[in-house]
């Protein structure tokens, strides 16, 4: 039986066929990879490194064109496109994956990891395998993990304790876990696509947002936000996802090269996150931001009990327990 992808390609002809994604031309397989992140963000850097590594490993026979900044769709559109194989791949923060199993969504539960290094080790090991397996049969094949980074709150005031979030209209990704998290912390979360963030901040529809340092820099929020509070509440992993239909057309050797290239993307994202955290705060300070580095971490950790209870209602207590087991 033909997959939808194979039917589309078989039914196209001439120039129309050449305009389809992932059509082989003279022995070269071309793929489109979509992202909502800026090219100079950790995920953007990861996508470029992935494409470069795959071209090198395949001798130019596997070519990826990376589309940054929602150029070919917002997060939900990219996920749907990969599922129906109209888009070949995406690199997306797990926080923005909406139409995926609750098991997958549980991986962005806040306050899971004692450090970023611990999070990276977990996703490079059994927790990462668990996440990839959770997508089986969804139309998305997990190729590997990269990094969005540690999420911090930005606003027009310092946020040192959960009490400072009370009633704050904060933009969060379109993730039920993110919404539940900030409700449990006393805020008024507003789920929005990243592409709508700046207009909503300018209009006053939202007062605050939360993102890793590299994304805060890339979004250029100066003028609409003034304070970066180093809450580090969530480690945000990102996934290289591929259409299962597209993957079914590839050889094991080709898939192996793609997975190896994803590892190169992961390493690049780690390096970019490290640099952003090491140098980015200084850059933000130079641009007029106030860096709030005296966050009362203990008060947030105390609030994590309520946050985890709220997240367990979404992903299931058994799933969250399994995730915590794999983390430890």
pTM over 0.75: yes
Quick: pLDDT tens for 83-125. 999 999 999 999 998 789 989 999 999 999 999 999 999 999 9
CA 282 to chain CA mean position, Å: 24
Tell me: pLDDT of 306 over 70: yes
Tell me: pLDDT of 324 over 50: yes
Quick: pLDDT tens for 169-215. 999 999 899 999 999 999 999 999 988 999 999 999 999 999 999 89
Tell me: pLDDT of 323 over 60: yes
Read off the CATH number of the domain in which 322 is found: 3.40.190.170
Q: How confident is the model at residue 99, as a pLDDT?
A: 86
For the chain, the maximum distance between any two Cα atoms, rounded to a whole number of angstroms, is 63
Distance CA 202, CA 219 (A): 13
Structural domain of 200:
4-327
> Mean of the pLDDT values across residues 16-39?
72
Residue 4, token pair as written in the block: 């939808």
Residue 235 backbone zone (phi > 0: left; psi -120 to 50: alpha; other: beta): beta
Q: How many domains does the chain have?
A: 1
């Amino acid at each position: 039986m033909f997959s939808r992808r194979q039917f589309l390609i078989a039914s196209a002809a001439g120039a129309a066929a050449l305009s389809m994604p992932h059509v082989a031309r003279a022995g070269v397989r071309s793929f489109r990879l979509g992202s909502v992140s800026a090219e100079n963000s950790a995920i953007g850097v990861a996508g470029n490194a992935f494409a470069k590594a795959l071209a090198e490993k395949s001798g130019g026979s596997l070519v990826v064109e990376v589309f940054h900044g929602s150029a070919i769709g917002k997060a939900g559109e990219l996920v749907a496109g990969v599922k129906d194989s109209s888009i070949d791949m995406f690199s997306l923060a797990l926080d923005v994956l909406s139409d995926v199993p609750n098991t997958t969504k549980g991986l962005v539960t806040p306050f899971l990891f004692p450090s970023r290094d611990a999070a990276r080790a977990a996703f490079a090991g059994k927790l990462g395998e668990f996440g990839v397996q959770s997508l089986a049969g969804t139309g998305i094949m997990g190729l590997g993990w990269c990094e969005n980074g540690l999420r911090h709150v930005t606003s027009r005031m310092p946020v040192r304790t959960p009490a400072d979030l009370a009633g704050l209209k904060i933009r969060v990704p379109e993730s039920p876990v993110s919404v539940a998290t900030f409700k449990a912390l006393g805020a008024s979360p507003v789920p929005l696509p990243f592409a709508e963030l700046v207009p909503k901040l300018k209009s006053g529809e939202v007062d605050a947002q939360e993102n890793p340092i590299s994304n805060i820099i890339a979004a250029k929020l100066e003028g609409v936000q003034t304070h970066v509070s180093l809450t580090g509440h969530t480690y945000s992993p990102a996934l290289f996802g591929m259409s299962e239909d597209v993957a079914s057309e590839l050889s094991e050797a080709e898939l192996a090269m793609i997975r190896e290239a994803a590892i190169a993307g992961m390493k690049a994202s780690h390096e970019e996150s490290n640099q952003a955290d090491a140098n980015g705060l200084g850059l933000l300070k130079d641009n007029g931001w106030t860096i709030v580095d005296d966050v009362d971490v203990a008060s947030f950790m105390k609030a994590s009990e309520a946050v985890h209870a709220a997240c367990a209602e979404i992903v299931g207590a058994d799933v969250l327990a399994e995730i915590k087991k794999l983390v430890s």
